Amino acid sequence: MATDPVRAARPPALPAEHRQLADAVREQLWFGDDDPARSSLEASRSMAAALARATGLKPFPAVAQRAMTLLSNPDTPLRAIRDALEKDPAITAGVLRVANSAAYRSRQTISSVEEAVQRLGSRHVLEIVTSVAAMGMFKDAKGVGLQVRDHCARVAAMTRVLASEWHQKTAESPFLCGLLHDLGKLLLLQVSGIDYQKLDPKVLAQSDEAFVHERALLGYDHAVLGAHVLEAWKLPSHVAEVVAWHHQPGRAYQHGAELGLGVALVRIANRIDYQLRVKPELDEAFVAELAQDGAAQYTGYQEQILKAMWPKLRDGAQQMLSAMG
């Protein structure tokens, strides 16, 4: 497996002593966290996690929780699902927008919750409900927060396109994994856990940068924190695992199974989104480099496949941004 080229990118973003620590953290975490229990404990003690568990940060919407429970049972009548969601018109509207987006490739307009369940299936509608509810909690995000939220929406769409367009249709909840991969950053911004604007601008303009500085400054990173909060919200455990490990690819690939696949898909979509911000048009040099990335090699996405998929990835990302509104 080729070495991930991003591993070598280390722009100066902190004073020398912090930069050295950040580089050491990067090397340590690439193939695994030597003390994951300590990192999780640090995250659980953080202000963001404490507020997420309590009421300082809005709890996960009760309407969404109820709908998710109903959707988890294949015997639930469609009417019961509709009645549950209609108690929150904003979530219902969001679900229909996402269900009609390019990411879900609906050939005909879906006009009701019942129709969405019938045509997409309970599992996919559950995924959409969860996503809309989670992002709705940060609808008032501004500045860096809005940038992160928009990034999450675009990565969600592209992760799903990647999973559905090639031979990775067995991926578990790719849309949800992509959408929530940077939840921890949004939580940190909510409680001023870290001021990203004081870091080098490259930290938020490149993948695999912010987390090393978070570790150096806070003792944990947004991936660990995001996973901790997802578990507290009782969201699917496999999604929390992908979120927790998306900056530890070597560890995830060694683990294999759905975890390795989920991390690889999120990482490909993540890198593509950073590239789209710079140049929406196909950049053959970038795609050639991406095809040599460990994530692309793990999933089997060859250069010609990524080139062919580029328009769908770009357009899907833009449509999802509008759908998440």
Inside any domain, residue 9? no
Burial class from Cβ neighbours inside 10 Å (0-12, 13-18, 19+) for residue 94 reads buried
pLDDT tens digits for range 55-97? 356 678 899 999 999 999 989 999 999 999 999 999 999 999 9
Contacts of 222 (CB under 8 A, 6+ apart): 182, 183, 184, 185, 187, 188, 210, 211, 214
Whether 168 and 38 share a structural domain: yes
Q: Mind listing the pLDDT tens digit for each residue in 227-280? A: 888 888 888 889 999 999 999 898 889 888 889 999 999 999 999 999 999 999
298-307 confidence digits (pLDDT tens): 999 999 999 9
pTM recorded for the entire structure? 0.83
Domain boundary among 136, 157, 175: 136
On whether residue 207 sits in a domain, the answer given is yes
Q: Where are the alpha helices (DSSP H) in the chain?
A: 16-30, 36-45, 47-53, 62-71, 78-85, 89-99, 113-120, 122-136, 144-165, 174-180, 183-190, 210-218, 222-232, 237-245, 249-255, 257-278, 284-291, 294-299, 303-324
Q: Are residues 54 and 148 in the same domain?
A: yes
- % pLDDT > 90, the chain: 48
The number of domains in the chain is 2
Q: What is the pLDDT of residue 229?
A: 85
Residue 132: domain span: 61-136
**Among the three residues 80, 109, 136, which one is the final residue of a domain in this structure?**
136
* Same-domain pairing of 103 and 165: no
Rounded Cα–Cα distance for residues 181 and 270 (Å): 9
Q: Are residues 299 and 241 located together in one domain of the fold?
A: yes
- Residue reference for tokens 């070597």: 250
Q: Is residue 10 part of a domain?
A: no
Asked if 132 and 95 touch (Cβ cutoff 8 Å), the reply is yes
* Banded pLDDT at 40 (limits 50, 70, 90): low
Tell me: do 130 and 230 sit in the same domain: no
In the structure encoding, which two tokens stand for residue 157, read together? Answer: 């769409």
Q: Rounded CA gap, 7 and 206, in Å?
A: 11
